[in-house]
Chain A
Amino acid sequence: MTTTTGPAAVTGAVGSAHTRVEGVAKVTGAARYAAEVPFANLAHGWLVLSTVARGRIRSVEAEPVRRMPGVLDVLYYGNAPRVDAAYEGMMGRPDPTVAVFQTDEIPCAGWPVALIVAETSEQAREAAESLVVHYDKEPHDVDFFPGRPGSYTPDGDGMRVEKGDVEAELAASTHVVDAEYSTPEEHHNAMEPHAATARWDGGRLEVIDSNQGSTWIADELAKLFSLDPASVRVRSEHVGGAFGAKGLRVHQVLAVMAATVLDRPVRVVMTRRQVFSLVGYRSPTAQRVRLGAEPDGRLRAVDHEGLNLTSTVHEFVESSASFGRPMYAADAHRSVNRVVRLNVPTPTYMRAPGEAPGSFALESALDELAEKCGMDPIALRVRNEPEVGPVSGLPFGSRNLTACFEEGARRFGWAERDPRPGVRRDGRWLLGTGVASATFPVIVAPSTASATAEPDGTFTVRITASDIGTGARTALTLVAADALEVEPGRIRVHIADSDFGPATIAGGSMGTRSWGWAVRDAAIELREQLALGGDIPAQGLTVRSDTGAAIGALAQKERHSYGAQFAEAAVDVGTGEVRVRRMLGIYAAGRIINPLTARSQLVGGMTWGLSMALHEEAVRDQITGAHVGADLAGYHFAANADVPHIEADWVDDPDPDDPIGIKGIGEIGIVGAAAAIANAVWHATGVRHRHLPIRPDRVIQAGSPRA
């Protein structure tokens, strides 16, 4: 037994750079991801996906495959256990795609039709490739284009927002921009493909997974399989990237089904090609923006319409048109999100859903407006800074967009910029610079945590958080250290185990804020209990927290992070090549817990923006309804040689309503980054690129500078 509290309180962990607490495990290969935890008697599942884009399964020729060496079972709609997807989960109704093998209907290419389970992965794979499935094909429709017939405005919050009379304000405006923009289908492609292992152990279902929230997945699995929630345990210790794609997906469901049927542990790992069909993606968007302004750049009207696609089985909306609502003051605002149902897999959240494509359109349009008004694009944005939420009328939590532009302009050397397009040359390269604004909502959700004082003077914090590469585990260690007033080295943070109690997901840039709040509450209370003196019992002294009430009491406000994105592009109009030479992002994104990992996350987001601007595009073949080149060669995202030196930094901007001052930084780095690059390409060449990615063929077709 030991008494803990030392005389001097140690603080200052939050705000100083710390390498990742799991860093050594990650650089030595010791960190085990979902497919890497050993199980005795493990069986391997291999998925078979539909090759037709619409129709019915006539038959699955399971028998010949069952006789192949090592094959244990073939699961398909004819024999799979029944599940019930008519429930409400943490994120609402699930995509019915997770109710796998419940029907013979095929709504899209790449729809799961069978799972082979075998003793080894080689046997499972060969059997999967040998399985014959007969289909009755029906005509499919995967054609997405602006003005697509059959599109509609969904019910639900925020799909359509109007303030003032947009048409009248546009008619009265001196300068009007009216332009169409598009972004392609984009895929998360976390480097670790989805993987899950399930087993029954003493009446409990155990799942080793790679996900963005183990509370979430455990709850969904319990509901889907009608199990007692207490009998389901999901763990996800290390996650090899997620970006919105690692929720409940067919691999967890199938691992559970197969483990139940075979009564032994089963692992299901998706192949890279399967990931393209099974885990969601960002819908392509077709957007139209109309801006009307006075001669001095003051906005009279902001009108934004965005069309995206979804599957025939589930409605997911990429709400790109919503981006401008909290951004700029204007007499009239109108924004409408529309969707069309096609024979494609259901899209999902992908890093800054809505904001990423929406900011490309609106922030490009503002650059066009600046050109028309003969104004500097930063000055145009500053002129339209709102006092309160432009549509909501609510006060802002904190809004430091202008400070971001000032700091960014100073560091980027913006003052020396010649506004004329197409006049700078460096050999075969035309050079230009561009800016754009970024914003992302500040969200928080209830979570629980526990903090334990151990008899040896150390502390253990437990929370069902998820570290998908964000550095959350390290950030929570620093938060706990300051709250306990001890060195971070005395604290162990255990995460990603649904047995630790409910906590929110790593999504919406709200993870560290939500979990940090709960960890801080538990740690402070523990410190106060320890301050009363007394011995620590052998099993430790544990305090639990729940932030539900405090979060429920938060006043309604416009709470957002902001950022200013700067980019320099070099364009060779002969070859069509675009190279980004440098990027700078300055953010007002709340208190920064760990500058080392925060910078990585922001730079990572900006790298995504570069990749979105120049490279990423999944192409669907109209004839087959399937992807062309669904792999990492056919779908190029930025490689090392594509990425220049990128700098990210921040201005002081603690959130006034968060006990630690956190806002969240996971998504804002990508927002506006593609627009800044497109605006730089215009500045280099004098040609506007309104369709992403800015491919060489598009640059060549656009021709030479018009300056």
Chain B
Amino acid sequence: MAPSTSSALTLKVNGEKHTLSVDHRTTLLDALRERLDLTGTKKGCDQGQCGACTVLIDGRRAVSCLQLAVAAEGREITTIEGVADGDRLHPVQQAFLDLDGFQCGYCTPGQICSALGVIEEHAAGWPSAATTDIRPEAGVPELTAEEIRERMSGNLCRCGAYVSIVQAVARAARAEEETV
């Protein structure tokens, strides 16, 4: 008997469970786009170099092109389609919209998912390469433009929307802080 090349699995995406049979070679990115019709997650390089495919897996940002779908079973996956609260945009989405943090929009879902991760990671006190004082007692570093640039650098934008992306992330982070 030929070895089986596909498996049935259940993916939990944006709080919803989907049971499907996938080819073992299928990446999480392709499963989302081609099997679940969740095309908001973009493919810019398919090899972990651009960040367009960024989603949140168990709350942490990850590039879904470097993840096999079969390995994502049982994880909580959040894609751009799950970020807004119904018709109410998430503050990060709203800031990208209002400050024009995009042009063609193709990197945008990845940028937004990444920004959600950045805001969480920063609030949890994680340092970055731009953090000057990384001693634990230094506390949460200020989320300066420099910090945002560094932390968002895994997400390429060929349109060159970085200047307004930085402003959008800063605005959303401030809004988040005020609501805590």
Contacts and interface: CB of A to CB of B under 8 A. Distances in A.
Interface string A581-604: 000000000000000110111011
Interface stretch (A18-26, A475-483, A508-516): A18-26
Given A24-B89, A36-B33, A643 B44 contact: no
Contact of B112 (A27, A241, A243): A27
A190 interface: yes
B159 A36 contact: no
Contacts of B112: 27
Contacts of A126: 25
B97 A19 contact: yes
B81 A633 contact: no
A191 B52 contact: yes
B34 interface: yes
B159 A604 contact: yes
A698 interface: no
A241 B163 contact: no
Interface SS of B by simple majority: loop
B47 A272 contact: yes
Given A191-B158, A605-B160, A640-B166, A28 B40 contact: yes
Contacts of B52: 191
B165 A29 contact: no
A553 interface: no
A366 to B, nearest CB: 26
Contacts, number: 176
Interface in B33-70: 33-34, 37-47, 49-50, 52
Contacts of A632: 44-45, 49-50, 156
Contacts of B43: 35, 193, 269
B149 interface: yes
B153 A646 contact: no
A191 B155 CA distance: 11
Interface of B: 5, 23, 25-26, 30, 33-34, 37-47, 49-50, 52, 79-81, 83-84, 89, 93, 96-98, 100, 102-109, 112, 130, 145, 148-150, 152-153, 155-166
B106 A240 contact: yes
B158 A600 contact: no
Given A24-B89, A640-B166, A193 B103 contact: no
Contact of B153 (A33, A240, A600, A639): A639
Nearest to B40: A29
A191 B44 contact: yes
A241 B158 contact: yes
Interface in A222-276: 238-243, 269, 271-272
6 contacts: A27-B93, A29-B39, A469-B159, A606-B160, A632-B156, A646-B163
Contacts of A471: 103
B68 to A, nearest CB: 11
Contacts of B41: 29
Contacts of B158: 188-191, 241, 243, 637
A38 B109 CA distance: 19
Nearest to B79: A29
Contact of A191 (B25, B80, B81, B107): B107
B104 A24 contact: no
Contact of B47 (A31, A241, A631): A631
A162 to B, nearest CB: 37
A489 B147 CA distance: 38
